Structure 1
Amino acid sequence: MTPRPDTLAAALTTATSFVVNAVEVLRFGGLQTDEEPSPFEIATRRPMYRLRRYYGPVAGGAGHRPAGVDVDEVDVDAVDVDEGPRPPIVLVPPMMISADIWDVSPSTSAVAALHEAGMDPWVIDFGSPDLEDGGLERTLTDHVVAVSEVIDLVTAATGRSVHLGGYSQGGMFCYQAAAYRRSRDLESIVTFGSPVDWRGSAPLGVPEDVIVNVARFVAGYVFSDRSLPGWLASTGFRLLDPIKTARSQVGFLRQLHDREALIGHERQRRFLGGEGFVAWSGPAIVDMMQQVIIQNRMMVGGFVVGDHVVSLADITCPVLAVLGEVDEIGVPAGVRKIAAVAPSAEVYEFPVRAGHFGLVVGSTASSQTWPAVTDWIGWIEGTGERPEGIAEVGPDSAGDPTPTTAVMLAAEGANQVAGIGVGMVRGAGHLAVGALQTTRALGYEALHAAPRLMRLGQIQTGTRISFAKIMAERARTQPGDACFLFADRVHTYSAVDARITNVVRGLIEVGVRQGDHIGVLMETRPSALVAIAALSRLGAVAVLLPPSPDLSELLLLSSVSEVVVDPEHAAGVTDAGARALVLGGGADRDLPGDLGEGVVDLERIDPDAVELPRWYRPDPGRAGDLAFVVFTRTTGSWQTKLVTNHRWALSAFGTASAARLTAASTVYCLSPLHHPSGLLTAVGGAVVGGSRIALSRGFDPATFDEEIRRYGVTVVSYTWAMMRELVRQPVHPRDTLPTITLFMGSGMPRGVWRRVLDRYPGTRVLEFYAGTEVDVVLANLSTSKQGARGRPLPGTAEVRLVEVDPDSGSIITGPGGYAVPSEVGAPGLLLARPRLRVDASIRRLRGVFRRGDTWVSTDDVFERDRDGDFWLLGPASTVVRTSHGPVFPIQVADALGDLPEVDIAVVYGVPAATGPVAVAAVSKWGSTAITAADVGGALVSVPSAGRPDIVHVVDTIPVTNWYRPDATALAARGLPKAGPRTWIRDPASGEYVRLTKAVRDGLVPSTVTDGGR
């Protein structure tokens, strides 16, 4: 059959059109359109960006000003304030997509839609980094600071606060900039497909472990010294959905003959095809991988912007999160998390049936996104009603499970294949991860702890190891990482190490030499740690002085004549007779020009002008050398404790291993630096782990949650009952703390332990026992037993428990005169067998278990359970030796602390006519009364002979400056008064009954003046 002429003509026309259009595409990269971009002017030009103002006073009058006119390259103040009441909105693109994303074509232009709705649109143009001077060296901080700077510029130009909008990563910049400036001059934030959680809600459903490991590889090996070209960014974007990309290309070819059908979408196609993508600088990629993915700083806080540390909790302005229901990049669950991490902001969401790109470009954006945004701005401005379809998102609902995108895609007939494919990938990934859970749980600790424990085990007396040496290692291996976080400022390892070196030069200039004992008396601040590290680098001994009215006594006791101080303590040191070496103080320093006799300002010494002596060698300290001197006061008089470099390393490496500290960890150091747990455990563990140290001026329960959020704290250090003050604080409904994983310290009462876990679900308590001068470290690594001290850490001293005489406390010997080991569940004195040479000042025990062996007593009584875990019963000096047997203070206090009605408890001895009487005092938690039956029931876990004779309720139990419950004042009062809140144990029945005045009077010795009568 012969084809009809009209059919042949149509086919020829179609073929001709196809060829003509194809040639045009090959020649120009696409079809030429008559569309003009929206008019804008360059309001200001900076090295980091150009600021576009669309439809401004110059370009926007009649709308025929050519696009891109540069009216002011320097000063935005030259731009006239718009005469109308248009609310300004600043739009921020992602790093790898050009600013034209906001104006791809007239039919889908964001700026055109917003302008027509009465807005004043401004756009940040970061340009093409590979074409800008220094563009490929840009960091994440550069982008965030640029956004903040633009807010100031637009505010100055318009005379009013701005609305801030960002697409994808541009929205993340908006959150970060808003936190950086604490929402100053911001009316609201609008983001489009901008997740804050890239780990728990990873794109394409990739398991969290996988995306973190990929991010580590990319940051460490791929982009550490190279950038991402624009063409590769475009290719990667299209490969995220290869089926849709292929379908689009096939559809384009099938319609290439029909110019009219293609022309309306041509600019959009060309934009996605590569023209809209720009290079991405390597430092910015690495920074994003480190902070956003590996460390998850947008979720946990502690995001570093320059030398500032911020948290998204600092956002207080309203937030509208526009999310795509079928968005595989900005996963809805991850987008909603902004409500969980910004509890002070009112957060709303607007769901759109679109993918990632369709949120801001295309027909859906034109018909849904931009009308919703304009209505939102009108509502915020007070000129309109709350838009339909916008729902408030609370912190609790932010984590609600979202229907899997695969299911949604499956409902889209055209996308069914792609949806099933993504779902299969996601399911396979989760299945594989689930199969590896047990293996990883068994091997994780050994994998991360092995290198540290191996190094610890290799340390010998002559091994060079010290606090300053580890700091220098960190400065070499992770120079740009945060070391200290203090007063919202960030101090990097490299900056801190340089500061240490400068302080060393100042110390040398004033005559400090290797081996000198130099006091340190400073408030908790970075300069205090720098001073301690500088003395360590010099090879001097840092004598850590607590602030005390007994300063003269402490100086005499430690033979110190020179003290490094902050300005606040200078006068006190000179009054005590020592020379004050003043360091630090920052903006608070107020020193006169003439400092007077006995005061030297180290800050006035030019380190570059100091000639180093030939004897100086950085970090000369060896394991056996004395590093620090600390002070304790447990018996009413001050005592010095000597800490060697090995002892410091033991605690530091042990803590880093036990707490699994890494560069992603932030340790909140609440202990003062003169307390052993501060320098040995919290700071030492953080430095060895390469972690960040959040320093606090002092423990304040009222600001605890806020600082946890700001610094992104993952590990909180404590001493004794410190956390008791925290759990007393009311819990606010919006205070969700996703950051803390661990509390670590020593001496937490068991009742406080329980309340901490109740207040912060999902955390755990890592309880340490560490001797200041003995190489023993116990930690409850493998147990969740509340109150247990755990087992010896690998690499620390061997420990044994030996029986002691219940009356004298001396070690019991058996056959051959050797010590008798304690049985399981029986009390015993803890002995340690040191690995290295023992200092001569420490009393050594010889021939304990065999001829010639050497052991050191910790002077603490423990018992060991059948699992091998050690339980501290109390220091030997505090055991109350009654006629019915020894009463161990911590054992009794923990048992009473198990009562929900008990706050904390202490045990002490009081002389009586019948001999020493063991008295337990408890303070109340809540308003419920404590009864004798409660007391008897709680003490069932204590052996009968070890129960206290008297238990009474007191209004409060004092604690020391280090939060250790202190029974000194209670013991000084003698026996407690008779009354309804005091009970005595009936020897016949073993039950606790009310103490009467007659019984009490019978216990008071005639030779004792009873202050409590």
Structure 2
Amino acid sequence: MLCTLLPLTLILLILLLLLLSRLCPLFWTDVLYQAQLLRILFQFVLRRRRSPVFLALDRFLEQVQSRPNQPFIIFENRSFSFRDADRESNLIANALRWDPGLTSGDTVLLFMQNRPEIAFCWLALAKLGCACALLNSNMRSHSLTRSVRCVGGARALITSEDLQGALAEVYTDLQQDRVSVFLISQHLGSSHLKCVFRPDRCVFRSDRSSVFRSDSESSDEPVPASLRANVRFTSPAVYIYTSGTTGLPKAAVITQSRLLAALSVLPSNGVTDKDVIYVTLPLYHTSGFLLGLLGAVETGCSMVLRTKFSASCFWDECEAHRVTIILYIGEILRYLCNTPRRDPDRVQGVRLAIGNGLRADVWQEFIARFGGIEVREFYASTEGNVGFINYAGKIGAAGRVNFLHRKLFPYALIAYDTEQEQPIRNAAGLCVEVPKGQTGLLVSRITHTAPFTGYALDEAQSEKKRLRDVFQKGDVYFNSGDLLRIDADGFIYFQDRVGDTFRCFDRWKGENVATTEVSDVLGLLEFIEEANVYGVCVPGHEGRIGMAAVKLKDGREFDGERVFGHVCRLLPGYARPRFIRIQRHIEVTATFKQLKVKLAKAGFDPSTIHDPLYFLSETERSYITLTRHIYQEILALSVKL
């Protein structure tokens, strides 16, 4: 009897699985991903329970022991093994122990373009139990000062030779804040520090003649683990700057626990120590640092680092270094699609592209031209407590939702009034979840498993990201500020961003632009009474392009050359408004909030807008009248924005 039942049971089981595969084509894909998610969660829990505290740094030290000669970072014509990186970081750490005498809990600012030294400095500071703040290397003037002060009480700032001029502009502020400035050598392989400014001195030593401690005096001996004995999972590890949805740049606190969790992202997408990852995204961004650098730390793979993205050099460098994994933001893949065709176009070796912000049309074009590369689009935010990944490869989707994910990280899409810029609540004062297929504001419950650590020294802005009384009185959710949609098949799609920022793409760099900051800069001009900054969609361009509606003071005229010089001096390139609209008055809501949605929808078409329109012309170094001809050239992509 038993011998008869066993084959019958096996046949029924096979038929059931075949039926499930037919009814749910992604059944096995979902099962495998959720199994991977459980494995990663189990590994994370085990690491959290280790004693002493196990940090991302400890994973790097494990790699130094297990694969000392494996290339860790490849930059230009140099290769640094895990052992090399360990030695370089020891030199820096031991130097900083003496001058300025860093101790556990201190914060140091890193102000550099992509270079291996960013990784060395992070490792050095981690060995000392210090946090590092990753400054955007495009910041200048008061934006740079604001970023320095965001973290409060930073002991030192480490920079490179090419950015000394930017620091000289904020010398007085650095002196006031008592921040020591160190110059790291441009000569790779000798990461010595030169102190070029001390707060107790009155001269910015741009000649770098004042050397307090260099690698010749420092030691590459291992840094005692006792120096970081007080570091906990809740301790700040890294500060990454973001505009979020609430205005000016803020320093999002990335704790040691969050850093430990970030180690799992690349392994969960099948990346191993046999891979080579190509990183052209800036390391001061979440993707570059958490995916690129930490991905190499966790998997033991090699990271090919480039200072800036170059579409013309991209595939040649991938072939030269046998790259298998590339990171992207949407515009990177679009620029690659716009490069001249090669024979063959399909690059040997590259098998996976991971990133976000990819338009469906660019996605299709990329696959058609460079087929054989799997694209994994994800959704996440720097300070957020939830994320999604499109592990099934559905074109246009930013992720796929599943039961297990929602149990671990409770989230919902709620009804949102874009005109009033607030969630819609029912008679009981609670939020309303939108049905599948409709667009809603993404919120995620703040729990011990999914915490929200907020922004450094900015509780007011942190509180704005907490949405209370969502589905029951007393609950607290993280307000992503993003509008998303979930279809009937469980795929989630990014729709738009709400609030006081817009996602702007300048050439290859994806940046969040704080409209409040741009408005403040424009308001410094004596002939501008008020400015309302927003983002407009431009065909052929990802994200939104900056535009400002401006009210002039009575009796004053618009000076395009003055405005051009002003914004170029005070704003990074991606934040400069490309279009300006002159209005007689700035429209506001009943609660005196500037109306942006209506203006954004109106766009910049001179044939439908009767207000004077101006366009930022790089060639004429002025804001010039936006004519119908220029408008058509922009639509035809003949004019570069």
Using structure 1 for the length normalisation, give the TM-score. 0.43
2:279 is the alignment partner of 1:666: no
How far apart, in 1, do the equivalents of 2:194 and 2:95 lie? 18
Q: Give the CA deviation at 1:797.
A: 2.8
Equivalents in 1 of 2:534, 2:194: separation in Å?
61
| Shift in alpha-carbon separation, 1:917–1:868, aligned structure 2, 3 A | same
Q: Does 1:685 align with 2:314?
A: no
Residues 524, 697 of structure 1: 8 Å contact kept? yes
Match for 2:477 among 847, 855, 864? 855
Corresponding residue to 1:453 among 35, 41, 59: 41
Shift of 1:781: 1.0
**Distance change (3 Å), C-alpha of 1:594 and 1:875:** closer
Matches within 5 A, 1:387-536: 450-456=38-44, 464-510=53-99, 511-536=101-126
Q: Which residue of 1 aligns with 2:305?
A: 695
1:648 to 250, 259, 268: 259
Contact 1:828 1:861 in 2 (8 A): yes
- 2:106 aligned partner, one-letter code: D
Deviation of the 1:600 alpha carbon: 4.9
Q: Supply the distance in 1 between the matched residues of 2:290 and 2:376 (Cα, whole angstroms).
A: 15
Structure 1 Cα separation of the partners of residues 430 and 55 of structure 2: 37
- Which range is displaced more, 823-832 or 842-851? 842-851
Match of 1:555 in 2: 148
1:801 and 1:608, CA in 2 relative to 1: closer, same or farther beyond 3 A?
same
Deviation at 1:1000, TM superposition (A): 4.1
**How far apart, in 2, do the equivalents of 1:545 and 1:594 lie?**
19
Counterpart amino acid of residue 578 in structure 2: A
CA contact (8 A) 2:293 2:303 kept: yes
Which of 738, 742, 766 is the matching residue for 2:352? 742
Q: Which of residues 323, 344, 352 in structure 2 aligns to 1:713?
A: 323
- 5+ long unaligned stretches in structure 1: 1-437, 881-888, 894-905, 909-914, 926-962, 976-991
Deviation at 1:654, TM superposition (A): 2.7
1:581 equivalent among 182, 186, 196? 182
SS at the partner of 1:817?
coil
1:566 aligns with 2:160: yes
- The answer on whether the counterparts of 1:748 and 1:787 sit within 8 Å (CA) in structure 2 is no
Question: CA contact under 8 A between 1:486 and 1:696: conserved in structure 2?
Answer: yes
For residues 470-526 of structure 1, the C-alpha deviation after alignment (integer angstroms, 9 at most, x for no partner) is 211222333332211222433222332233233222221210111111011123222
Which of 386, 396, 404 aligns to 1:786? It is 396
CA contact (8 A) 1:649 1:684 kept: no
Structure 2 counterpart SS, 1:877: coil
Q: Distance in 2 between matches of 1:602 and 1:830?
A: 50
User: For the structure 1 residues 506 and 574, does the alpha-carbon distance in structure 2 shift closer, same or farther, using more than 3 Å as the test?
Assistant: farther
Compare 641-650 and 537-546 and name the one that shifted more.
641-650
Residue 858 of structure 1, CA deviation: 1.0
Counterpart of 1:814?
A: 426
Whole-angstrom CA distance in 2 between matches of 1:695 and 1:745: 16
Matched ranges for 1:756-795 at <5 A: 756-791=366-401, 794=405
Taking the aligned partners of 1:879 and 1:487, their CA distance within structure 2 comes to 35
CA distance in 2, matches of 1:698, 1:636: 27
CA positional deviation for 1:724: 2.2
Change (3 A) 1:1010 1:579: closer
Separation in structure 2 between the aligned mates of residue 692 and residue 680 of structure 1, nearest angstrom: 15
The structure that has the greater radius of gyration is 1
Q: Aligned partners of 1:602, 1:723: CA distance in 2, in Å?
A: 44
Secondary structure at the counterpart of residue 227 of structure 2: coil
C-alpha distance in structure 1 between counterparts of 2:240 and 2:320, whole Å:
32
Following the alignment from structure 1 to structure 2, what is the Cα–Cα distance between the partners of residues 580 and 808? 45
Change (3 A) 1:805 1:719: same
Q: Per-residue displacement from partner, 1:521-566 (whole Å, max 9, x unpaired)?
A: 1232222111012112222110111222233333233333411223
Give the corresponding residue for 1:921: 538
Q: Which of the pair has the greater relative contact order for Cα pairs under 8 Å at 6+ separation?
A: 2
Query: Given the superposition, is the C-alpha separation of residues 667 and 591 from structure 1 closer, same or farther in structure 2, using an over 3 Å criterion?
Result: closer
User: Residues 796, 970 of structure 1: CA spacing in aligned structure 2 closer, same or farther, 3 A cutoff?
Assistant: farther
Matched AA of 2:411: V
Moved more, 473-482 or 963-972: 963-972
Higher helix share: 1
Q: Which residue of 2 aligns with 1:358?
A: none
CA distance in 1, matches of 2:537, 2:75: 41
Residues 714-739 of structure 1, C-alpha deviation per residue, up to 9 Å, x if partnerless?
11112241222222111221565111
The two structures, once aligned, show a CA RMSD in angstroms of: 4.3
Between the aligned partners of 2:219 and 2:536, the Cα distance in structure 1 is 63
* Equivalent in the alignment of 1:616: 227
- In 2, Cα distance between equivalents of 1:488 and 1:742: 24
Decide whether aligned partners of structure 1 residues 451 and 602 sit closer, same or farther in structure 2, where only a CA change above 3 A counts: farther
> Is the Cα contact below 8 Å between 1:654 and 1:777 reproduced in 2?
no
Q: CA deviation at 1:591?
A: 10
Q: What's the CA shift for 1:581?
A: 2.2
Task: Report the residue type matching 1:731 in the other structure.
Answer: R
8 A contact 1:720–1:964 mirrored in 2 = no
The secondary structure found in structure 1 opposite 2:423 is coil
**Residue correspondence of structure 1 range 995-1006 to structure 2 within 5 A:** 1000-1001=609-610
CA distance 1:442–1:815, change in 2 (3 Å): closer
The DSSP-based 3-state class of the residue aligned with 1:469 is helix
Measured at CA, do residues 609 and 454 of structure 1 come closer, stay the same or move farther in structure 2, by a change above 3 Å?
Answer: closer
Is the 1:661–1:686 contact (alpha carbons within 8 Å) kept by the matching residues of 2? no
Shift of 1:461: 11
Aligned pairs (5 A) from 1:360-375: none
Change (3 A) 1:622 1:574: farther
Aligned mates of 1:468, 1:826 — CA distance in 2: 43
Compute the displacement of 1:669 (Å): 1.0
Alpha-carbon shift at residue 860 of structure 1 (Å): 1.1
1:801 alignment counterpart: 413
**Retained in 2: the 8 A contact 1:974–1:1012?**
no
Aligned counterpart for 2:435 among listed residues 807, 823, 828: 823
Amino acid at match of 1:749: R
Residues 461 and 675 (structure 1 numbering): CA distance in 2 closer, same or farther, change over 3 Å? farther
The AA in structure 1 aligned to 2:69 is G
Residues 571, 445 of structure 1: alpha-carbon distance in 2 compared, 3 angstrom cutoff? same
- Could you list the per-position Cα deviations for residues 335-391 of structure 1 after superposition, in whole angstroms to 9, with x for gaps in the alignment? xxxxxxxxxxxxxxxxxxxxxxxxxxxxxxxxxxxxxxxxxxxxxxxxxxxxxxxxx
Is the 1:777–1:796 contact (alpha carbons within 8 Å) kept by the matching residues of 2?
Answer: no
Change beyond 3 A, Cα 1:643–1:617: closer
What do residues 787-841 of structure 1 show as CA deviations (whole Å, max 9, x unaligned)? 4343379596321111122431222222543221111111211111234354363
| Aligned residues of 2:184 and 2:191 also touching (Cα < 8 A) | no
Q: Distance in 2 between matches of 1:609 and 1:479?
A: 15
1:883-910 per-position Cα deviation (integer Å, ceiling 9, x unaligned): xxxxxx99xx9xxxxxxxxxxxx9x9xx
Three-state SS of the structure 2 residue aligned to 1:681 is: helix
Quote the Cα distance in structure 2 between the aligned partners of 1:583 and 1:851.
52
Residues 442, 826 of structure 1: alpha-carbon distance in 2 compared, 3 angstrom cutoff: closer
Distance 1:730 1:565, change over 3 A: same
Count of matched residue pairs: 486
1:687 to partner: Cα distance: 1.9
* SS class of match (2:362): helix
Q: Following the alignment from structure 1 to structure 2, what is the Cα–Cα distance between the partners of residues 682 and 612?
A: 25
Closer, same or farther in 2 for the Cα pair 1:457/1:614, shift >3 Å?
Answer: closer
More strand by share: 2
Shift of 1:678: 0.8
| Alpha carbons 1:536, 1:621 under 8 Å: kept | no
1:288-329 CA distance string (max 9 Å, x none)? xxxxxxxxxxxxxxxxxxxxxxxxxxxxxxxxxxxxxxxxxx
| Runs (5+) with no aligned partner, structure 2 | 1-25, 199-204, 506-512, 516-531, 543-571, 585-601, 614-622, 628-641
Q: Which residue of 1 aligns with 2:545?
A: none
